[in-house]
Amino acid sequence: MKLSKKDKLYNWHPYTQHKTAAEFPAIVKGKDALLWDENGKEYIDAIASWWVNPFGHSNEVIANAIYKQLTTLEHVLFGGFTHNKAVELSEKVLSILPANQKKVFYSDNGSTAVEIAIKAALQFFYNKEEKRTKIIAFEDAFHGDTFGAMAASGISFFTEAFQGSLLEVIRIPVPTEDNEEEVLSKLESLLQSGQFAAFIFEPLVLGAAGMVMYNASALDKLIAICKKNHVFAIADEVMTGFGKTGKNFACDYLTQQPDMMCLSKALTGGTIPMAITTFTQEIFDGFYSDDVNKALFHGHTFTANPTGCAAALASIELLESDKIQQNITQVHQQHLVFQEKIKAHPKVKTTRVSGVIFALEVKTDSQESYYGNLRNKLYNFFIEKGIILRPVGNIIYILPPYIISNAQLQKVYQTIEEALEIV
């Protein structure tokens, strides 16, 4: 029996209605920007497997670091112990993050990184006997699928079954040239109540909303309002972190800096699940007490897994290399060239580029749902052509591995042009 048929017998996949889903391609091998299925069909991974593989599949630098660590110390509990790789990685991460980040808390995926930040914000004020039980987030944001992260997410069909069970979150629009003053005014007004612990945001690019982009100056103003009202700013860089926007972190474009940062996805180069939440010294000090009940009681079995730390250190070393930095610039420049070519297409409504991220909005007669007919038609077309792209409604986006070749990227562009003809 083929692997794809066995999969359908046993596995429950994410974001999938299995009654209507077809058999999935069974991937058996990957190298650089390519994947191969059990039938030998080749695919260009144009979204870096959900944004986690910036250095490509089967990367030997990361694989060697993992092997070396596995034969030295594969895992040790982080509750009551430490190890050299966690210390090295924390030191390295803090050296490339904004200077106000001082403490590192480890977990295992983007949702839990966000969960920890939200819990820390709420408990910080609880420890001070100050009641702040609400947070602020952007409309249409996506921060993950655990309960706190889900509450902060604004994409309704992901969360509507749980509405009565979620933390109270007030949403503000993403700032644009047309509404910036209105958004700033709304945030200022909301914070007057003194009920809010934090404002969480995806800096500069809202990924799951369809790569919605906004400018750094507007975010600087929003963070400044939060600081004035002692409301913590949480930057969810799970998607944008580690080079996606052209700089190491989207927050590197800001003059104001967040109080907490959430990192995952590309942290280990797509090899081992790992996440990091970082904090200012002020937040850490809010838990530093003779009273054990004021500690942050949160943990994961694989917290600061040494093998994951080794993978992350190798991944950051690759990110900082001249070759990868040149590749990021080259992908960005090619996106800009393609944008100039495609933006006047009669079926294209808008285009946008940030770093290695390209997004294109297809003109439609009606509002397209996240997993609507148009999206499914486009997705199936791309898969048939050997290109892995996952449109969001009527938004087609590219977020490739940094090591993708020029020929491969040109094939992705060409296939998008062909797809516009079937719309």
User: Taking a C-beta distance cutoff of 8 angstroms, is the pair 363, 393 a contact?
Assistant: no
Give all strands of the β-sheet with 395-398 in edge-to-edge order: 348-354, 357-362, 395-398
Mean pLDDT in residue range 147-153: 94
Which band of pLDDT confidence, cut at 50, 70 and 90, is reported for residue 368?
low
Q: Is the pLDDT of residue 335 over 90?
A: yes
Percent of the chain with pLDDT over 90: 94
pTM: 0.97
As a whole number of angstroms, the distance between CA 197 and CA 97 comes to 23
Which band of pLDDT confidence, cut at 50, 70 and 90, is reported for residue 66?
very high
Best CATH choice for the domain 64-319 from the list 3.40.640.10, 3.40.980.10, 3.40.50.300, 3.50.50.60: 3.40.640.10
Look at residue 158 in the predicted model and tell me its pLDDT.
81
Instruction: Work out whether strand 232-236 and strand 260-263 pair parallel, antiparallel, or are unpaired.
Output: parallel
Model pLDDT for residues 99-109, shown as the tens digit of each residue: 999 999 999 99
As a whole number of angstroms, the distance between CA 370 and CA 376 comes to 9
- Residue 423 burial (C-beta neighbours within 10 Å; 0-12, 13-18, 19+): middle
Model pLDDT for residues 175-200, shown as the tens digit of each residue: 999 999 999 999 999 999 999 999 99
Model pLDDT for residues 216-264, shown as the tens digit of each residue: 999 999 999 999 999 999 999 999 999 999 999 999 999 999 999 999 9
- Residue 86 burial (C-beta neighbours within 10 Å; 0-12, 13-18, 19+): buried
Best CATH choice for the domain 3-58+322-420 from the list 2.40.260.10, 3.90.1170.50, 3.90.1150.10, 2.60.40.1220: 3.90.1150.10
Look at residue 157 in the predicted model and tell me its pLDDT.
80
The rounded mean pLDDT for the chain is 96
As a whole number of angstroms, the distance between CA 395 and CA 389 comes to 11
Count of alpha carbons within 13 angstroms of residue 43, beta-carbon side: 26
Which band of pLDDT confidence, cut at 50, 70 and 90, is reported for residue 363?
very high
Number of neighbours of residue 348 by Cβ within 10 angstroms: 18
* Residue 62 CB contacts under 8 Å (≥ 6 apart), including other chains: 55, 268, 269, 271, 311, 314, 315, 318
Domain regions of the chain by residue span: 3-58+322-420, 64-319
- In the three-class reduction of DSSP (H, G, I as helix; E, B as strand; rest coil), residue 57 is classed as strand
